[in-house]
Amino acid sequence: MAQAWLEVALTDLQSSRNNVRHHTEEITVDHLLVRRGQAFNLTLYFRNRGFQPGLDNIIFVVETEDAVYLDSEPQRQEYVMNDYGFIYQGSKNWIRPCPWNYGQFEEKIIDICLKLLDKSLHFQTDPATDCALRGSPIYVSRVVSAMINSNDDNGVLNGNWSENYTDGTNPAEWTGSVAILKQWYAAGCQPVRYGQCWVFAAVMCTVMRCLGIPTRVITNFDSGHDTDGNLIIDEYYDNTGRILGNKKKDTIWNFHVWNECWMARKDLPPGYGGWQVLDATPQEMSNGVYCCGPASVRAIKNGEVDLNYDTPFVFSMVNADCMSWLVQGGKEQKLHQDTSSVGNFISTKSIQSDERDDITENYKYEEGSLQERQVFLKALQKLKAERFHSSRRGADLQPSRPTPLSQDSPRSVHTPSLRPSDVVQVSLKFKLLDPPNMGQDICFVLLALNMSSQFKDLKVNLSAQSLLHDGSPLSPFWQDIAFITLSPKEAKTYPCKISYSQYSQYLSTDKLIRISALGEEKSSPEKILVNKIITLSYPSITINVLGAAVVNQSLSIQVIFSNPLSEQVEDCVLTVEGSGLFKKQQKILLGVLKPQHRASIILETVPFKSGQRQIQANMRSNKFKDIKGYRNVYVDFAL
């Protein structure tokens, strides 16, 4: 008599044990959550009879390929498991780490990330195809890049660069992704107000790490935004040295933040897998949607701008040339073309360290080298060829300004054109005399050097204006004119001071001031332009952990803060958070702080996760929005 078929009565997924082995126990131990390419155990219980080896066969069909596998355990710990980090802001002259709580293992975050995929336009249009493609990190990363912003859908964040945030949260105030994602989810998946580039990138990092894709946050200082695809960023100045709003919308962002995700790229030629750029900030459309990438970092370095996805745009962010123009009497006069001002100090957090890693060499060859110019020319030729083919297909994609490639062009691989200062043989340079602290006067000098054997009579127009971090200029608030006579080979300094009362009411949240000097010499038609971006700094919040941190035991935390200004500030609010330390973000209303007043509070919490943790804090008021601080703390297991 034939044996009866086996009937499965119960399947034990061994969720707790498997999740520990797969490093997902911080997300849940109640449901099976395993990672690609790694074995897991389960137990089958049968109803009608026991399993008989040699007689019964059980076949499992699984796919074990892992297209996002990193073979370095320290890298896996940093780029998948670490739930806090730093996002670098400021300027190339003053790089500031901003602490951030990614919180990818916090309660409900995995459910929110899966909901985010289901809310995408792709899923809404064709759910079956969308789900079938979710095994591809290329596809998933493009979907997430589009869903972090809300330009095409009910994505997570509304972008706002207007300086008016009265109906939402100033982007500078956020200290973590968890509050943002939970607010989006709780509001029925309606966009959260507001985000800017570092917030988009930080939230995308949380989602991608939660989904198991190695991800890091990248900051590019002096980041190009080339709107017409000719690899030139045009900047316009008036005769006072003031930078003008750009009619072409090209800009150099003081800094811009995006993500890199690690994945195989079988859709590209060999060698172009690994780190890929993804940018969730809604700048330009990609295939009709506001997303960007994945673009191979190696392809960007090698000028392979014809490889998917959005490689030309990313190339321009790190390696476009900058053209300066003087606008006077309705005419434009070329001042200078700079081949090295875009793409500096490209930064990310170091592996298992709080230090900053400079990864500029991953994106381009050394500025000024023959290799760098050869790659630039290669990229430009590929873009011209693409435009030619597009125009043959009927598309009008020609750039608004021609890009000649003659041998005497500064875009060739030969020596760039002479600077006006080389022609006039006069050098101008700004130098700060003291650190630029918020609430204090800004003291600096203009250094003028005559490099010739002739007398030089200079007229120099000086100005200062606030900038947004995306390069948008605000109205000038300070101007001066200097008349400087230089003997042969002589150097002179012209002292300048901008008082707090002069700049305080004109500052943006970014606290950036651009000082400019436009000099001319009587005997030459050439004009010399020099500028410097000053980032005003605040004293940071100090956080002290009082006693040993142990899981499920009360912990006291002291937060010390101060009003750095010589005037009273109102509506002060302190926010504190930290994954594994606080169940939710803490908000403390501080009210009014007197001038230069220093105070502290004690917070009580009960850590609920062990290991290395970080506390992030931010204080805002009616006068400032982002005085920040952080403290790392190691939480022990309970004895």
Question: Per-residue pLDDT tens for 33-46?
Answer: 998 888 899 999 98
Residue 356's pLDDT band (cuts 50, 70, 90): very high
Task: For residue 256, indicate whether it is catalytic.
Answer: yes
For the chain, list the domains and their CATH numbers: 1-66 (no CATH), 75-389 (3.90.260.10), 426-535 (2.60.40.10), 542-635 (2.60.40.10)
**What pLDDT does 329 receive?**
86
**What pLDDT does 351 receive?**
97
**Comparing C-alpha atoms, which of 217, 80, 207, 176 is closest to residue 581?**
176
**What pLDDT does 59 receive?**
83
CA gyration radius for the chain?
28
Is 235 annotated among the ligand-binding residues? no
Crossing angle between the packed helical segments 137-148 and 109-118, to the nearest 10 degrees: 90
Q: Taking all residues of the chain, what is their mean pLDDT, rounded to a whole number?
A: 91
Q: What DSSP character marks residue 319?
A: H
Can you tell me the distance from the alpha carbon of 279 to that of 268, in angstroms, rounded to the nearest whole number? 19
**What pLDDT does 245 receive?**
76
- CB-count exposure of residue 127 (10 Å: 0-12, 13-18, 19+): exposed
**What pLDDT does 196 receive?**
97
**What pLDDT does 421 receive?**
59
Is 361 annotated among the ligand-binding residues? no
Tokens 């289901």 belong to residue: 118
Annotated catalytic residue within 22, 225, 256, 469: 256
Instruction: Concatenate the DSSP letters of all residues of 219-232 into one string.
Output: EEEEEEE-SSSSSE
Is 544 annotated among the ligand-binding residues? no
**What pLDDT does 395 receive?**
41
Residue 413's pLDDT band (cuts 50, 70, 90): very low
Can you tell me the distance from the alpha carbon of 408 to that of 401, in angstroms, rounded to the nearest whole number? 18
pLDDT at 422 over 70: no
Percentage of the residues of the chain whose pLDDT score is greater than 70: 93
Q: Determine the average pLDDT of the residues in 226-248.
A: 83
Is 106 annotated among the ligand-binding residues? no
pLDDT at 410 over 70: no
Percentage of the residues of the chain whose pLDDT score is greater than 90: 74
pLDDT at 248 over 70: no
pLDDT at 203 over 60: yes
Q: Determine the average pLDDT of the residues in 173-178.
A: 98
pLDDT at 21 over 90: yes
**What pLDDT does 414 receive?**
37
- The more confident residue out of 338 and 444 is 444
pLDDT at 417 over 60: no
pLDDT at 179 over 90: yes
pLDDT digits (tens, 9 = 90+) for 565-584: 999 999 999 999 999 999 99
pLDDT at 509 over 50: yes
**What pLDDT does 226 receive?**
87
- Helices and strands (DSSP H and E) totals, the chain: 14, 29
Residues whose CB falls within 8 Å of the CB of residue 447, separated by 6 or more in sequence, listed in order = 427, 428, 429, 430, 431, 491, 492, 493
Cβ atoms of 274 and 508 within 8 Å: the answer is: no
**What pLDDT does 355 receive?**
97
Residue 608: what are its φ and ψ, rounded to 5°? -120, 5
**What pLDDT does 423 receive?**
65
pLDDT at 56 over 90: no
pLDDT at 419 over 90: no
pTM of the model: 0.90
Residue 285's pLDDT band (cuts 50, 70, 90): confident
**What pLDDT does 2 receive?**
62
Tokens 């101008």 belong to residue: 428
Instruction: Concatenate the DSSP letters of all residues of 509-572 into one string.
Output: TT-EEEEEEEEEETT-S-EEEEEEEEE-B-PPPEEEEES--BTTS-EEEEEEEE--SSS-EEEE
**What pLDDT does 603 receive?**
97
**Comparing C-alpha atoms, which of 195, 188, 184, 120 is closest to residue 158?**
195
Can you tell me the distance from the alpha carbon of 468 to that of 130, in angstroms, rounded to the nearest whole number? 38
Can you tell me the distance from the alpha carbon of 622 to that of 505, in angstroms, rounded to the nearest whole number? 12
Residue 506's pLDDT band (cuts 50, 70, 90): very high
pLDDT at 241 over 90: no
Annotated catalytic residue within 98, 113, 189, 197: 197
**What pLDDT does 242 receive?**
85
pLDDT at 490 over 50: yes
**What pLDDT does 246 receive?**
65
**What pLDDT does 411 receive?**
34
Task: For residue 279, indicate whether it is catalytic.
Answer: yes
Task: For residue 31, indicate whether it is catalytic.
Answer: no
Question: What is the helix (H) or strand (E) element at residue 501, kind and residue range?
Answer: helix 500-503
pLDDT digits (tens, 9 = 90+) for 113-144: 999 999 999 999 999 999 999 999 999 999 99
pLDDT at 546 over 60: yes
Annotated catalytic residue within 279, 470, 510, 626: 279
pLDDT at 99 over 90: yes
pLDDT digits (tens, 9 = 90+) for 585-624: 999 999 999 999 999 999 999 999 999 999 999 999 999 9
